[in-house]
Amino acid sequence: MDYKKKVEAWLASDEVSKELKSEIRAASDKEQYDMFYTELAFGTGGMRGVLGPGSNRMNIFTIKKVTVGFAKFIIKTYGEEGKKKGVVISHDNRHFSREFTLEASKVLNDFGINTFIFDALRPTPELSYAVRYLGAAGGIMITASHNPKEYNGYKVYDHTGCQLVPDQIQPLLDIIDTLGDELTLTYKPVADLGKQVTLGKEVDDAFLKKVHSVSINKDDKKVIKVVFTPQHGTSSVLGRRLLEELGYEFYPVLEQCTPDPDFSNTKSPNPEMPEAYEKAIELAKAKKADLIVTTDPDADRVGIAFLDSKGEYQLYTGNQTGALLIDYVLGERAKRGLLKPNSVLCDTIVTSTLGEKIAAHYGCSSRSFLTGFKYIGEAMNKADTTHEFTFEFGYEESYGYIFAPFCRDKDSLESLLVIAEMTNHYLLKENKRLDQKLEELYLQYGYHINKLYNMYFKGAEGAQTMKKILNDLRTKPFTSLAGVKVCKYEDYLKKEIHIGDKIEPLIGFPESDVLRFFLEDGSWLAVRPSGTEPKCKFYYEAVDSFREKAENKPDNFHKDLLKYIGL
């Protein structure tokens, strides 16, 4: 249907609220086109988009449509048993998150599927755990993660508490494609409606008990002070409860502990952004804290700042924190003889190779997956069922970590515990700060400096621009960058490895629009469109035995690449 006809249909419908109609009328022709020209799609993190009217927006109609599809998927996949086992639904603090939760629950109940909803907002990892704890057939998380306040999103989980991977999600997408227009979609509720059950403290207690189980040096005397902020999100209650139970002297950033959908007291809810730490650093300076921990709104990711050896507060990237955690966790497990001959570290293709080198030092092999923690969750499932390997640790560069297989998504609560314990342990036992420990790793394995550059391309034109960037790089790949030769590149869409004039198959990955180039000096870069935002991501890792050389390389690589592709 032409987008203008869709606009007219929405404006004429009695089902569309006055508020949504007002937004349509107030929009420019270009904005209306973006609202209606396409449908929201599932990316690496599910369906995520700007709130508002239209098929390309998050609203009650798009929520209803995808939930009808998920209901049919549950019944087709799990049958009558799936209806009884039901679906767990959780949500974050965003605008309409509760309304979307209740709408999803109603639709599922109408199809005879039981639902379990929390009495208030809860973290994504707890949703994943709850699916497993309750033996449910699936899960839904209403969240836009770290996106700005204008966004919301919808993630779906299978019976293992893992987000659906491409092979699983395609049947769901096929079902959704048959449903037609979201505005006129109707269905007849079954006679035997599903029941809606409200969850509360029982699941919280069980989840936190599992979180406590990842502790290694739990009997260490607590010598550090911790500042904690949930960025107005879902870890506010459980994060503070966890730190209290662990026995740390901690200080919450109280003005960021309210579930505010407008994120009024933070410049950014994204742990990757320095401005997310401003209020926390102010409080840390006042309290002379040793560690700052912030989670994103749905509490699957975590970022840190800390008091370094020079007495200043320093932020670390997901890769830097990951390297420290791998060395601490695997090192401490190795001391206790807990590592197995088939122990495996799971990461992604855009994560630093430093973690893999540290893991190898402890006799732990590594497996890399496409971006999206669902692939690591799928690997955890495989380890459980085939016993082919033992899962030890999973992480990705975008600040997500998991230490034990009791849930199937990255977990900021586990991460909060281990990061605090690690910081405390090194200060107590070695009188060392985190920057001193990371420097030791750099001296042992080489300096690994990672940088991510985001370029935004909004709207329909932006999507075409991103597609062209990747296609141009495939058609005419560069052979050197900033004077460093390319030794090979991997094309995850064509599933090919190019080494000079030779082409080999790229095995073990689903198709994905990603290119990764390897340079002769050990550095690498990757280019991919974001699966959740209108931007193209450029990842770089520079490796060198000298810090200054390594630190200068990513900027030089990026400038040369932009020049090559004409941006």
Q: What is the mean pLDDT of each run of 10 residues along the chain (567 residues)?
A: 91 96 96 92 79 96 96 97 98 98 98 98 98 98 94 97 91 92 96 96 98 98 98 98 98 98 97 97 98 98 98 98 98 97 97 98 97 95 95 97 97 98 98 98 97 87 87 94 96 96 94 96 94 86 96 96 91
Q: What is the dihedral of CA 551, 552, 558, 564, to 10 degrees?
A: -150
Place of tokens 């296609």: 471
Bridge partners of 542, per DSSP, are: 449
- What's the CA gap between 84 and 562, in Å, rounded? 54
CA distances for 442 relative to 323, 327, 439, angstroms: 10, 12, 5
Does the domain at residues 447-565 carry the CATH identifier 3.30.310.50? Answer: yes
Identify the pLDDT of residue 542: 97
- What's the CA gap between 486 and 483, in Å, rounded? 10
Structural tokens at position 123: 């973290």
Give the DSSP per-residue string, 136-164.
-SEEEEE--TTS-TTEEEEEEE-TTSPBP
Place of tokens 């893991």: 359
CA distances for 45 relative to 152, 157, 231, 266, 291, angstroms: 12, 11, 20, 23, 29
Each residue of 210-263: pLDDT tens digit? Answer: 999 999 999 999 999 999 999 999 999 999 999 999 999 999 999 999 999 999
Count other C-beta atoms under 10 Å from residue 184's C-beta: 10
Identify the pLDDT of residue 461: 81
Identify the pLDDT of residue 496: 97
Identify the pLDDT of residue 45: 66
324 Cβ contact partners less than 8 Å away, ≥ 6 residues apart = 316, 422, 434, 437, 438, 441
Residue 145 is among the residues annotated as catalytic for this protein: yes
Identify the pLDDT of residue 299: 98
Q: Answer yes or no: are the C-beta atoms of 154 and 47 closer than 8 Å.
A: yes
What phi and psi values does residue 447 have, to the nearest 5 degrees? -75, 125
Identify the pLDDT of residue 154: 97
The model's pTM: 0.95
Identify the pLDDT of residue 33: 94
The amino acid at 100:
F
First-to-last CA distance in the chain? 34
Q: Answer yes or no: are the C-beta atoms of 346 and 376 closer than 8 Å.
A: yes
Please name the CATH architecture into which domain 3-199 falls. Answer: 3-Layer(aba) Sandwich (3.40)
Identify the pLDDT of residue 43: 63
| CATH for 207-445, options being 3.40.50.2000, 3.90.110.10, 3.30.1330.80, 3.40.120.10 | 3.40.120.10
Nearest to 395 by CA among 317, 452, 335, 331: 317
Bridge partners of 100, per DSSP, are: none
Question: In the chain, what are the domain boundaries?
Answer: 3-199, 207-445, 447-565
Active-site residue, selected from the candidate residues 145, 366, 398, 512:
145
Domain 3-199 and domain 447-565, same fold? Reply is no
Nearest to 77 by CA among 14, 132, 157, 193: 157
